[in-house]
Amino acid sequence: MSGLLTLDALKAEMERGTIDTVLVCIVDMQGRLAGKRFHAEAFLEMAEGETHCCNYLLATDLAMATPDGYASTSWQAGYGDYIMKPDLTTLRPVAWLEGTAMVLCDVLDHHHHAPVPHSPREMLKKQIARCAVLGFTPVMATELEFFLFQGTHDEIAQNGFKLKPISTYNEDYSIFQTSKEEPVMRPIRNHLRAMGIPVEGSKGEAEAGQEELNVKYAEALATADHHTLAKHGIKEIAHQQGYAASFLPKWHQDRVGSAAHVHQSLWADGKNAFFDEAAPLGKSRLMDHYMAGLLKYAADYTYFMAPYINSYKRFAKGTFAPTQVVWSVDNRTAAFRLCGEGSKAVRVECRVPGSDMNPYLAQAAMLAAGLKGIEEQLALSAPFSGDAYADDATQHIPRSLTEAREALLASDMLREAMGDEVIAHYARAAEWEIEEFDRVVTDYEIARGLEKA
């Protein structure tokens, strides 16, 4: 199940007439695919070279607006080009689109061909390189939670965003209800597997219409690629079947939200460096330092795990979303859960990210915090036990995008790891989201105050 293509294999498929189109894509700030479609023959002519895109693609919001305030691109600077450099190790078929393959690109500066520092893929590569200097390879796994709604996104927009989940009751681990959803979920599993994404399985999640897709762990960059392609594929495949897949973290105040938990460990010489058979819980001192870094700097990097106003609606008691920055052993009320205790699979699961996270940014930020914990030889606190929702004495996850942005701007750790330019770029992205939300009159305000105010 490699699912990947070489250039020779692509050429052979083109000559057989089975592939005629190649999607050439970058990953934007929101973790979405952007790019263009090449005829396969034209792609083969440029595959080892480059193509171009407008540099505003890394300075837009969810609605593709072009806010001012970015140093990297502006109307005054004329919105020039970036270079899209195909990473041919990511060339693969797109199983649900006829005659189509795709490739991910790295984003380079048009003038001097250096990587664009605020490109999500480059940000993760930088932290992976820091690990390599220390002799480690970061290994990650992400979980994709999402909702399926009746009707396509276009149909839902036309009916005023009246949302009806695909099911009517909590379907967590339900075989009967998920059997009814197999016309959507079965092609998702099979098509993604066919393009080389190591999908393990899917299940119903803890709400009506909520699904979870599990993908096998891999090295960090591959994991982010897998997550991004899976998220994109889920949306397209659901659309083909007449449904809408949504990764909005909180679509209704009375419903459980959607997460994207991230499992992580560092490996050396092909072995899990977080494992120490002789240590309590089987976790090494290296793991202690790493986890202590995750905890100490949690507020600093929360923005990269929760980048929108809606993201913070998910952090609610009794919903399996964390509220307190604590770690615990196999405890789903904690922000950080130690999994695989006493085994070679010991790892830390971060339960903070919502389903709207960009996996490159989230993984890069967590690696930066974990590596700082190793650098500072931080001591790990004792594990929390009990109900973390009931404990208000510990550090709270930032309660709003405004709080998270302030912590991002104040973070010396992230500035050191990512650079002032990158921090300023994403702080502006957060500021724009806040500005856009603050100027809108919501349905809630009208319903609450039209008569009563």
Do 150 and 201 share a domain, yes or no? yes
Do 61 and 178 share a domain, yes or no? no
Do 178 and 108 share a domain, yes or no? no
Among 61, 92, 116, residue at a domain's last position:
116
Quick count: other Cβ atoms within 10 Å of Cβ 236? 14
448 assigned to some structural domain: no
Domain count for the chain, please give it: 2
17 assigned to some structural domain: yes
452 assigned to some structural domain: no
Domain that holds residue 348: 128-443
CATH number of the domain that residue 40 is part of: 3.10.20.70
122 assigned to some structural domain: no
Do 13 and 162 share a domain, yes or no? no
Task: Answer yes or no: pTM beyond 0.85.
Answer: yes
Do 166 and 208 share a domain, yes or no? yes
Residue among 252, 242, 225, 246 at smallest CA distance from 234 = 246
451 assigned to some structural domain: no
Do 243 and 351 share a domain, yes or no? yes
Q: Tens-of-pLDDT digits for all 453 residues of the chain?
A: 478 999 999 999 999 999 999 999 999 999 999 999 999 999 999 988 989 998 999 999 999 999 999 988 878 777 889 999 999 999 999 999 999 999 999 999 988 899 999 999 999 999 999 999 999 999 999 999 999 999 999 999 999 999 999 999 998 999 999 999 999 999 999 999 999 999 999 999 999 999 999 999 999 999 999 999 999 999 999 999 999 999 999 999 999 999 999 999 999 999 999 999 999 999 999 999 999 999 999 999 999 999 999 999 999 888 889 999 999 998 888 999 999 999 999 999 999 999 999 999 999 999 999 999 999 999 999 999 888 888 766 789 999 999 999 999 999 999 999 999 999 999 999 999 999 999 999 999 999 998 999
